[in-house]
Chain A
Amino acid sequence: MSEPRGKGPVLEMRDVRKSYGEEVKVEVLHGIDLVVEHGELVALIGPSGSGKSTLLNLLGLLDRPSSGTLRILGQDVSEADDDVRTHLRAKALGFVFQFHHLVPALSAEENVRLPLSIARGRVSDADVPRALELLGEVGLSDRAKALPRQLSGGQQQRVAIARALAHDPPLVLADEPTGNLDTETADGVFELFRRFHRERGTAFIVVTHDPRIAQRCDRVVSLLDGVVVSDVRNGHAKA
Chain B
Amino acid sequence: MIIEIFLAIRFLREGRGQSLLILAGVAVGVAVMVFLSALIDGLQQRIIGQTLGTQAHVVVRMPEEIVRPLLEPDEGQRIARVVQEPAQRTRSIVGWQRHLEAIERMPGVEAVSATVSGPGFALRGAASRSIVLFGVDPARYDTIYAVSQHMHAGAFAPSGTEAVIGIELAADLGVEVGDRIRIATAGDREQTFRIAGIFDLGNRDVNKRWAIVSLRAGQTMLDLVGGTTSIDVRVHDVFAADEVAGRIGSRTGLSAESWMQTNQQLMVALRSQSSSSQTIQAFVILAVAMGIASVLVVSVVQKQREIGILRAMGLSRQRVLRVFLVQGLVVGLLGSSVGSAMGAGLVIVFANAARNPDGSPLFLLRLEPPLFVTATVLATLVGLLAAVWPARRAARLDPAEAIRHV
Contact = CB atoms under 8 A, between A and B. Distances in A.
Contact of A114 (B13, B313, B400): B313
Given A117-B3, A118-B315, A105 B13 contact: yes
Interface in B1-41: 1-3, 6-7, 10-11, 13-14
A30 interface: no
A6 interface: no
Contacts of B14: 104-105
A190 interface: no
- Sorting the interface of chain A by its residue count into under 10, 10 to 19, 20 to 34 or 35 or more gives 20 to 34
Interface string B306-339: 1011111111110100000000000000000000
A99 B406 contact: yes
Contacts of B216: none
Contact of B314 (A53, A63, A91): A91
Interface in A107-148: 114-115, 117-123
A103 B310 contact: yes
Given A101-B305, A122-B2, A123-B6, A115 B314 contact: yes
B33 to A, nearest CB: 32
A86 B315 contact: yes
A106 B399 CA distance: 19
B403 interface: yes
A185 interface: no
Contacts of B3: 117-118, 120-123
B306 A103 contact: yes
Contacts of B2: 121-123
Nearest to A101: B309
- Sorting the interface of chain B by its residue count into under 10, 10 to 19, 20 to 34 or 35 or more gives 20 to 34
Contacts of B404: 53
Interface in A203-228: none
Nearest to B305: A101
Contacts of B398: 62
A95 B312 contact: yes
Contacts of B305: 101
Given A118-B313, A123-B3, A97 B403 contact: yes
Contact of A104 (B306, B308, B399): B306
Contact of B309 (A86, A93, A97): A97
Contacts of B317: 82, 86
Given A122-B1, A122-B3, A83 B316 contact: yes
B403 A115 contact: no
A86 B310 contact: no
A60 B11 contact: no
A103 B399 contact: no
B103 to A, nearest CB: 63
24 contacts: A53-B404, A60-B312, A62-B312, A82-B316, A82-B317, A86-B314, A87-B316, A89-B314, A95-B309, A103-B306, A104-B306, A105-B10, A105-B13, A105-B14, A106-B10, A115-B314, A117-B6, A118-B313, A118-B314, A119-B314, A122-B2, A122-B3, A122-B6, A123-B2
Interface of B: 1-3, 6-7, 10-11, 13-14, 305-306, 308-317, 319, 398-400, 403-404, 406
